Structure 1
Amino acid sequence: MAQQNRRGGAKQAMTTSAVALLRERGVAGTSFADVLAHSGAPRGSVYHHFPRGKAQLVEEATRAASDALTARITELLREHGPVHAVRAIVELWRRDLARTDYTAGCPVAAAALGPVESARELAGNALREWEAAFAEALHRRGVPERQAASLGTLVVSALQGALVLARAQRSAAPLDAVVTELESVCGVALER
């Protein structure tokens, strides 16, 4: 981690570590001490970079995770279209789950469920952006606007729910089931 500190600075290292820890432990289970140990950042840098405390750290980690995930989802939709983007997202999660022994979830969902109001708001905005991105991709391909909006909500909520189930059951089976159904539902909408 020290190399990361030199490249991006202590604040970036702590934010990156906070994202990783939020994915595995949620907001309540992530402390400054955990972030410092994970990032290798000097103890004195905590309140220098995050003068509003843990709430600011969680907010900035949520913003960083939201921005990165929104960019990735947008890229997958542009490259693969809505049906194949769903499978590509699931494959990313599947690899992360296997790599972390089923502990890594979505940091945006962790923030949405956590006690930091500003982070919940950022997470809500990101989730709405993901819904809208899927809806727009479906609408561009001929799905009526209202149906595309409903399908965007269905895709995001089903994928998030499947990720929770996969973690809890320590199995990728929920992801497989959901991706198969989402591909079918979206495929039917696109064929009309």
Structure 2
Amino acid sequence: MDGARQVFSERGIAGTSLSDIVERSGAPRGSMYHYFPAGKEQLAEESTTAAGRMMASTISGLCATKGPAEALSVIVNFFRKQLVNSEYTAGCPVAAGALEGGEAPSAGHAAGDAFAAWEQILAAALWQHGMPKAKAEVLATTAVAAVEGAIIIARAQRSTTALDRVEKALLASVLTVE
């Protein structure tokens, strides 16, 4: 599953073959068909779901222990490092599911569910830190959309400037409440 997430985040779902995933993961080809009998679409959906849950767990844990501002900084820094270390080839595996919904519609639905979960977790944390509920919901959606968009821009421009600016703007909004 990790190999699939990595390849999907780099090449997208349409640009990835099962052979690419087998090569990256080192798993026997037969095991792919055993665990994913519906093929690449099933693997894309399950990979997107798993990536979404992992990030939701991370966001939740960070918000609970460090607060929403620090959680946003840690998440942005994670993607910043991932982009730089991959020479700007790796993006967000959940976004790969969202962007390739035509090739794997179930991955698109899984991505939508993941984004909604992230928004709910952030909104709840912002509200718990004193932000009015409606404003917290707007800022949570803005944060998820801005970070995901900044990752795409960073890949295209081969620079983390967009992520740096998004982080600064989001922190300014969050820190006015904390």
The answer, yes or no, to whether TM exceeds 0.5 is yes
CA distance in structure 1 between the partners assigned to 2:156 and 2:33 by the alignment:
35
SS state at 2:38 partner: coil
SS state at 1:76 partner: helix
The AA in structure 2 aligned to 1:89 is: I
| Residue equivalent to 2:36 | 50
Counterpart selection for 1:129 from 114, 117, 120? 117
1:29 paired to 2:15: yes
CA distance in structure 2 between the partners assigned to 1:177 and 1:34 by the alignment:
34
SS state at 2:67 partner: helix
CA distance in structure 2 between the partners assigned to 1:178 and 1:43 by the alignment:
41
SS state at 2:174 partner: helix
CA distance in structure 2 between the partners assigned to 1:39 and 1:187 by the alignment:
41
The AA in structure 1 aligned to 2:106 is: S
| Residue equivalent to 1:174 | 162
Gaps of 5+ in 2: none
| Residue equivalent to 2:52 | 66
SS state at 1:103 partner: coil
Query: How many pairs align?
Result: 176
| Residue equivalent to 1:92 | 78
1:81 paired to 2:67: yes
Q: Which structure dedicates a bigger proportion of its chain to helix?
A: 1
The AA in structure 2 aligned to 1:148 is: A
CA distance in structure 2 between the partners assigned to 1:62 and 1:142 by the alignment:
32
CA distance in structure 2 between the partners assigned to 1:153 and 1:62 by the alignment:
19
TM-score (norm: length of structure 1):
0.88
CA distance in structure 2 between the partners assigned to 1:73 and 1:162 by the alignment:
18
More contact order relative to length (CA 8 Å, sep ≥ 6): 2
Write the deviation string for residues 99-118 of structure 1: whole angstroms up to 9, x where unpaired.
10011100001101112111
Write the deviation string for residues 131-150 of structure 1: whole angstroms up to 9, x where unpaired.
11111011011111111110
CA distance in structure 1 between the partners assigned to 2:32 and 2:121 by the alignment:
35
| Residue equivalent to 1:39 | 25
TM-score (norm: length of structure 2):
0.95
Compare CA radii of gyration and give the structure with the larger one.
1
- Per the TM alignment, residue 42 of structure 1 is displaced from its structure 2 partner at its CA by 1.4
Gaps of 5+ in 1: 1-14
> What's the C-alpha RMSD, in Å, of the aligned pairs?
1.1
1:107 paired to 2:93: yes
1:144 paired to 2:132: yes
1:160 paired to 2:148: yes
Write the deviation string for residues 143-189 of structure 1: whole angstroms up to 9, x where unpaired.
1111111011011111111111111111111111110011111222x
The AA in structure 2 aligned to 1:111 is: G
CA distance in structure 1 between the partners assigned to 2:115 and 2:23 by the alignment:
30
Write the deviation string for residues 78-111 of structure 1: whole angstroms up to 9, x where unpaired.
1221112111111111111111001110000110
